[in-house]
Amino acid sequence: MKVDYLVAEIGSTTTLVTAFNAIYDAKGQVVVDIPFQGKSCTTVLDGDVTIGLKTAVKDIENQIGGSLTWDRMLATSSAAGGLRITVHGLMEQMTVKAAREAALGAGGIIKMVTAGKMRKSDLKRIHDINPNMIMIAGGTDYGERDTALYNAELISAEKFSIPIVYCGNIENQQEIKDIFEGQELYIIDNVYPMVDTLNVEPARKIIQEAFEKNIVKAPGMNKIKEMVNGSIMPTPGAVMESSKVLYDIIGDIVVFDVGGATTDVHSVTDGSTVVLDMLVNPEPKAKRTVEGDLGVFINSKNLIDLLDTRDLGEFTKQHITQHIKPIPTEEDDINASSLLTKKALDVAISRHVGFIKRKYDGESGFVAYGKDLSEVKYIIGTGGALTRLPKGEPMLLGIRYLKDEVTMLPKKGAKVLLDKNYIMACAGVLSRENKEVAKALLIQSLGITVDMEIAKNSDPVRKRSVSI
């Protein structure tokens, strides 16, 4: 059987491949056939990720009873340690935050952040971390210049032999080129061009391009181009791309991806005008947080340690520990993974969402910090834990705030959609070269109806009245 697309999601524990065709109906609209999927253990630690890829393809061939060929193969990857990034800026709540948001939204794992002029001890830490990329920010456009240049000089002298992304004050760009002459350098628009303004999308695009260029150098990934003839993206970055496509279809959303090693939360929403007026610092419309300590297999111990008696119910921590499996199939294994999935959701949403507090400076009123999810219409679950284990929908409904007070959490009217075909990462990397087919994949997998699209396009103006 020949298909148009084969898309691989190479995770930390499991490799999933999805095969499908893009079809056009009588009206010329794109539809997709029901995808075939195969899976295997990820083999990056064996020194060759294509071993797992070929095994996953063989799984599909066993299902269809014949050989499988394809026109285009694309891939997303969080194996080989993911996209490890260090970020170095000027002010923690300004340029550093902006660069960090750009890196996270592109699928990066932030391993180190510094604000102000770096020290020799910071350079030693970078060597110990061995990142895939370094980001240098600092200064609004035509503002402070010296810190970014000072840090650039220090970093350049170390000859890290990895991509350097400069996204600070545009007045420094020529000097930055001179400092990093002969090194792999990407210069882009300032992520924080003026006070209270974030500009993260150009940085996200460049980070993903640099990842695609350099992923083939990662241990175990050097043979990937033997099979993949299309784009390669960080898996979390691909899920973010799908989230932005979904926002265009159905409106404000938050997406949860509970994995074996991490739990990612992606939100695409401007929030309410009420909270916007109270925000102390700006937030990006598309925001991702990655909880590197919350995973249902590799990092299961961290979640088990967080469990209390209310979470455990009739189980014990020892029982849960004994039944953690990479791909649970037995009832006790499934129950253990489900319990950890719920805990991962509860902790991850509390870290992603912002909060409101009363002013205590002599003035009446309130201030808000962080991301506002109160206008979210759909809570979406993707990844194996939420789409393959039972009770994904009730677990996601449980994050809503059901009272009437002002909140930054999703409200009781928010609905749940499950990525039942487990294709959000697949659709995200596909959207880079064929957005219409990616959209069709998402509509099919999440069960999106015309009514949902109409509702999104007829949103009333958000009310500004509020009582707290």
Residue 228 lies in a domain: no
At residue 89, does pLDDT exceed 90?
A: yes
At residue 11, does pLDDT exceed 80?
A: yes
Write down the residue that tokens 């679950």 correspond to: 381
* Domain shared by 99 and 186, yes or no: yes
pLDDT at residue 404, as a whole number: 81
Q: Domain span at residue 201? A: 83-217
* Domain shared by 94 and 66, yes or no: no
* Domain shared by 52 and 106, yes or no: no
* Domain shared by 261 and 400, yes or no: yes
Residue 106 lies in a domain: yes
Percent of the chain with pLDDT over 70: 97
* Domain shared by 371 and 322, yes or no: yes
Residue 229 lies in a domain: no
pLDDT at residue 80, as a whole number: 67
At residue 457, does pLDDT exceed 80?
A: no
Among the three residues 217, 237, 258, which one is the final residue of a domain in this structure?
217
* Domain shared by 402 and 285, yes or no: yes
d(CA 28, CA 2): 22
* Domain shared by 104 and 213, yes or no: yes
Q: Which two tokens stand for residue 360?
A: 């205590």
* Domain shared by 93 and 32, yes or no: no
At residue 397, does pLDDT exceed 80?
A: yes
Beta-carbon contacts of 228 under 8 Å, excluding residues fewer than 6 positions away, are 8, 73, 74, 75
Residue 452 lies in a domain: no
Q: Which two tokens stand for residue 278?
A: 């109270």
Kindly report the length of the chain.
468
CB 107 within 8 A of CB 235: yes
Residue 17 lies in a domain: yes
Residue 448 lies in a domain: no
pLDDT tens digits for range 240-290: 999 999 999 999 999 999 988 889 999 999 999 989 889 988 899 999 998
Predicted TM-score (pTM) of the model is 0.87
